Structure 1
Amino acid sequence: MARQSFIRTSPLRWALQAILLGAAVGLALALAFGTKNWHPLQSMLVGVIFSVVMWGGFDLLQTPFERLPAHWPPARVGLFASLWLLLLYLVLLGIAVGLVWLCTGINLVSSRLVLMLTGMAGLAASGVIATKETVEHQVQIERNLVKAEARASFLGLQAQLQPHTLFNALNTIAALIPEDPQRAEEATERLAQLLRRILGALEHPEWSLREEFLLLEHLLRLEELRFGDRLHFELRLDPAMAEVSMQPLLLLPLVENALKHGFRPKVGPCHLKVEAKKGSIRIEDDGVGRSSQAPEGLGLRTVRERLLAAGGSLHWPEVATGCAVEVRL
């Protein structure tokens, strides 16, 4: 994926920054070499011309990494990038010198000292720009890789989530059939609603936090039939966060984890609260608790990786009883 051009995305912002940068550099050079040889306004104009030409050229004609043959070794790619930047620098330097002569009448080529200083200043500036371009390109590659890995994890989650949830629900229905056929029928209807929500979630890369909470409600309503009067849950969603965009099925494994590891071994009432406010989502239960040294299973690792890829985080805050997990989107 190519880096987006600053000029194309924010032309007015770029023009203002380029002019201010060039004027500041030109004024600094005038003060450094004395205003007798260089008038401050004239020097600032020269600085602006160089800033606009050099910065603009390197931004619009960035190294075409994506167009290079995939089989090229890193050494050849590096050599091509260096030659490209050197050639681009010489062309832009020539353009800048020509524009200075046309706009100010100053012939930078006439003085070897001035030409050398101009070349050194331009080379230093181009080196900074080239380094910035290379770092941005590398960061973009790494982020794309992280997103690709997160997408692969999501696909793996799709493969395991439906059978996992389905088998739990079917076990609940199977247990209810001989004891309470009417509740078993109700559980079947709730399972159908839950699966429709899950299938709808898997078709979208993102949906709102409100939709995620509706999915959790379908799951917990179904789990009520398994736990009976033991299960008490509370879903609190700040209206200000209802339409916050998020990856679907992100909270479902965390809630299922609380039900499976926190409540199944526990005797007596079980309380679960899912609360979203102030940019974070907290899932807390009063189950048997979680050891700080306990390893994260596949579901929890998948949630963490998906969050990290999207710039979020997953934390396990300490609580007096039970277990709590905090998600920041």
Structure 2
Amino acid sequence: MKLKSITRVLFSIMLIFSISFAVAQETTENLTEKLYKEYKQNGIDKTLKVYEKSPVKGNQYTFLSEPLNVLGYRLMSEGDLKAAEKVFLAQIDEYPNEANPYDSYADLLMEKGDEEKAKKHYKKAIDLSATMEDLEQKARMLEASKTKLAKLEGAGAELQFLKGNWTTENFGFQDGEKVLRNEGNVEFTTDKENTLLTGTVHNKSGQYIGTRLITYDAVDEEYDMIWIGNSLTGVEPSTIKIEKSTPNEIVMIEKYEEDGEKRKAKHVLKKKSGEIAWDIHDLSNSDAKNPVAHMSFKKKD
């Protein structure tokens, strides 16, 4: 009898919680639309006063579905940046220890063209994201803010000089002597956002050899690279970390897996007008000081 009573109580509590959550969701959605209608009829200042008196005011932050966050982006999409700014600032004032309000305001600042101020708010969002308990939201927040900040600061642009058409010569080493293995050409292109570098490789006869995809990972501050060959060997992924970058030289560490074993290689690129000398060192080799491969790139006119 006692067990049945406890079960009924627990069921009642769960039912009340479910109803309360549904009502809260409905209240949030209704409030979002109510705020927008108020804005259209009476302007943003009166809209914010309506929000101040709403039951949602002061509740736990609901991340991307937060009423002020939704309203701010809606106004920004309609071109009312002045009103959107007031909304985002009100969100920061209400939730000063949450990461997303700063990221949202930084997006607004980018629309206004204030890149320096936007950088500061993206950095604030990144710092606060470290305190987020929800791991999925934390990952999304870090990726969004770090990616936008990296683009502003020019991170991930070190390899953009590869864009264009190049003739290539690939060499190996045998008994300390450099031996030509093959010749061909590669064309590097970028997507519209300059976030993906694609290298399409052909041999000297024009036969397709494979494609190399390189994109910058702002969260880990390194490049993700994939080689897709024309054989049945599948996709070969790796990561690249820039150790040194100057106008004349780039040093990178590549990490990859081969036959179930984790390996590392050092790439040294020496640049001069229209030419690249590219040495590859196997860091798993005791003689890592000497390159195991060399590539010569010459820019086509």
Q: Same fold (TM over 0.5)?
A: no
TM-score (norm 1): 0.28
RCO comparison, higher one (Cα < 8 Å, 6+): 1
Hey, which of these two has a bigger chunk of strand by percent? 2
Between Structure 1 and Structure 2, whose CA radius of gyration is higher? 1
TM-score by length of 2: 0.30
